[in-house]
Amino acid sequence: MQLKKTERVSGISVADFTANYLNKGVPVILEDFVSKDSPAFTKWSYDYFKEIAGDTVISLHGKEDSSNDRASSAPVTKMKFGEYLDLIEKGPTDLRIFLFNLMKIKPELNHDLIYNDVTGGRVLQWLPFIFWGGEGSSTRNHYDIDMSHVFITQYKGIKRVWLFPLEQSVLLYKLPFNFHSIANIKNPDYEKFPALKLLDGYEAEIHPGDTLYMPSGWWHYIQYVTEGYSISVRALPSSPMDKWRGFRNLVITRHFDNTMRKIFKDKWYHYKIEQANKRAESALKKVKAL
């Protein structure tokens, strides 16, 4: 597995970002996608969040490798938002908040963010999501079902992200009709998943104020180096093919998979694992034959 360091840029123009990163589908860390003058960087704190939404009951997700048979993992528990913030401040935990739309509950928070939109207005600033996690927690390796471009900005703590292009899906042991991988890439078992050796991707570490641009369809594995939170906003996919893929994933593929899982239960999951392994093995043979 080869991981290149993700480039960092600041002050980039719309034209240069579009030509060098958006159109080419190349990840990059933007150091000023969210203006440093944004009130969020001085106003927001755990105490502030507890004051405005501490009693809100939220769903929490745990380790995702126990739910590989599902397109998305089910919550493992619930608690008040304020209690969760106290929990992650105390020490490491696997518990994460996934797609909790605090900005919808408290829309005034949107006024605390000032964007330098390097896409020329394509970013859906009205659709932000905050992701929270404890030190040591992580997401499984996946790509986003809607095929959007994603801009994820870190506000507290440090995240490490590994990124791989969609073309390497077979090498990642992607489950058919799903959008995640069955292989553990943080601690890869090269005997069980030998195709992982051929991966060629990027590593990015983002700190408060950094924004990672993840191109449409790119795989990402996210690790919380420390506890903290980030906000992601999206831009719709650029190419007609990616738009079709996003529509197909949302409207057809995930519903087909859910139906097959209900009908065939574990047999369907084992069939997908078998196919993922066969496809990776075939890719390895092609490489060795070159």
More confident residue, 149 or 186: 149
Residue 115's CATH number: 2.60.120.650
Q: How many domains does the chain divide into?
A: 1
pLDDT at 52 over 70: yes
Instruction: Classify 142 as helix, strand or coil.
Output: strand
Q: Confidence class of residue 70 from pLDDT cuts 50, 70 and 90?
A: low
Q: Read off the pTM.
A: 0.92
Whole-angstrom Cα distance, residue 218 to residue 162?
10
Specify the pairing of strand 2-5 against strand 8-9: unpaired
Q: What is the pLDDT of residues 15-41, one digit of tens each?
A: 999 999 999 999 999 999 999 999 999
Of the two residues 175 and 71, the one the predictor is more confident about is 175
Q: What is the pLDDT of residue 68?
A: 58
Per-residue confidence (pLDDT) for residue 286, from 0 to 100: 86
Q: What is the pLDDT of residues 206-215, one digit of tens each?
A: 999 999 999 9
pLDDT at 119: 95
Q: Cα–Cα distance between 267 and 46 in angstroms, integer?
A: 45
Specify the pLDDT at position 66: 52
* Residues across the chain: 290
Q: Which of 82-86, 105-109, 110-114 has the lowest mean pLDDT?
A: 105-109
User: Does the pLDDT of residue 65 top 70, yes or no?
Assistant: no
| CA atoms of 153 and 287, how far apart (whole Å) | 37
Scan for tokens 């939220």, then name that residue.
58
State residue 30 phi and psi, 5-degree precision. Answer: -100, 120
- Among residues 166, 172, 170, the alpha carbon closest in space to that of 145 is found at 166
Paired tokens of 253 = 């593929």
Judge contact between 141 and 180, C-beta under 8 A: yes
> What number of other Cβ atoms are within 10 A of residue 3's Cβ?
15
Look up the domain containing 165 and give its range: 2-289
C-alpha 93/C-alpha 113 separation (Å) is 29
The confidence band for 177, taking pLDDT boundaries of 50, 70 and 90, is: very high
